[in-house]
Every structure is written in C-alpha cells, then in structure tokens.
C-alpha cells in the first residue's frame, strides 16, 4: 500500500471515530452505559458455596455501593459472580483517558472482583514477587504502561 493510500485510510478511520463520538455526545448515551454493565467472573465453586452476605473482603468493603448477582455458570462450570456499581458515575470517568490513567471507578471494582475470585477459589490473593523488568527504552516504557493498565483492567 502506498503512503498516500495509507494516509487516506487513516484519515477515514479518524473521521469515522470522530463522527461516532460526536453522535454519542449529542444523544447523551453510548451503546451500553456503565450503569447497566455487570462485571463478572466464573468461580470454580458451586452456587451453594457462595453466600451474598459472606463475600470476601475486597467486595465486602463496597457494602451497599454495589449490586451483586450470584448464579450457576453456563455449562455447569461453577458459579458466576457479577457485580456493578449502584450509583451512576459521570461519563467522563469512563473515557479512554480516564481508564488509561487509572481514574475509572470500575477499575477498582474489577480488581476487587478478581481478588474475591482468588479468595473464594484458593483462600488467598497471589501477588507477583517483583514487578516486570522494564528498561528506559521505548519498548520498556510501553511494557510499563501496559503492565500498569493490566492491574486495573485485568487484561493488556
């Protein structure tokens, strides 16, 4: 592909994303608002083993600020534990910059949900002994950024 075609393709992509963002801002809603999204994990335990009143401390600390749903996982593969924040959060807290900088309130809830899964399955939360080794190079900075983001999102 020539550089001219690449430039036009990139410009078309930016235009499409900009149009979608403007449309969402004008209508005041996105395809799925943060309030109606459940964050869930599958736990390798039976549904009867998990009681809503006795959730592990990472989730128990949220108290009445979260809704909890416990049900059998599809395919008889354990239990699905789902949580979501009760109060609506400002839309700006769900933006990509907020997520990348760690200012999305759902990141802490995701972390608490992962820790609760570990507590229910093994009785402890395993932590790495050392942080990932990175060097002060462009690649090392990228690995550092992705590692920090993975802590809140759970994925790279």
pTM, rounded to two decimals: 0.60
Contact 81, 70 (CB under 8 A): yes
| Helix, strand, coil percentages in the chain from 3-state DSSP, rounded to 5 | 55, 10, 30
Which is nearest to 120 in space by CA: 67, 68, 65, 66? Answer: 68
The answer to whether residue 99 sits within a structural domain is yes
Instruction: Give the C-alpha separation, 32 to 4, whole Å.
Output: 36
Please check whether residues 79 and 18 belong to one and the same domain. no
Please check whether residues 52 and 120 belong to one and the same domain. yes
The answer to whether residue 114 sits within a structural domain is yes
Please check whether residues 11 and 73 belong to one and the same domain. no
Which is nearest to 17 in space by CA: 96, 125, 109? Answer: 96
Residues 6+ apart with CB under 8 A from 23: none
Q: pLDDT truncated to tens, each residue of the chain (156 aa)?
A: 566 665 566 666 556 556 555 555 555 544 445 446 888 999 998 888 888 788 888 888 888 889 999 999 988 889 999 999 888 766 666 666 666 666 677 888 888 999 999 989 988 887 766 666 666 788 877 777 777 666 655 554
* 18 alpha carbon, distance to own chain's centre: 24
Please check whether residues 116 and 62 belong to one and the same domain. yes
Please check whether residues 70 and 112 belong to one and the same domain. yes
Instruction: Give the C-alpha separation, 117 to 55, whole Å.
Output: 10
| Residue 8 lies in domain | 1-29
Instruction: Give the C-alpha separation, 91 to 97, whole Å.
Output: 12
Structural domains counted in the chain:
2
Please check whether residues 40 and 113 belong to one and the same domain. yes
In 6-138, beta strands by DSSP E = 39-43, 66-72, 79-85
């Amino acid at each position: 592909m020539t550089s001219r075609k690449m430039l036009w393709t990139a410009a078309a992509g930016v235009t499409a994303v900009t149009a979608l963002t403007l449309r969402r801002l004008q209508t005041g809603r996105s395809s799925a608002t943060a309030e109606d999204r459940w964050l869930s994990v599958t736990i390798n335990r039976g549904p009867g083993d998990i009681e809503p009143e006795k959730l592990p401390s990472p989730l128990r600390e949220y108290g009445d600020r979260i809704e909890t749903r416990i049900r059998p996982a599809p395919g008889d593969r354990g239990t699905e534990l789902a949580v979501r924040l009760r109060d609506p959060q400002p839309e700006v807290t769900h933006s990509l910059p907020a997520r990348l900088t760690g200012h999305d309130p759902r990141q802490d809830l995701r972390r608490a949900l992962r820790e609760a899964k570990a507590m229910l399955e093994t009785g402890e939360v395993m932590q790495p002994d050392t942080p990932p080794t990175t060097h002060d190079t462009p690649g090392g900075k990228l690995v550092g950024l992705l590692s920090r983001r993975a802590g809140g999102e759970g994925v790279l």
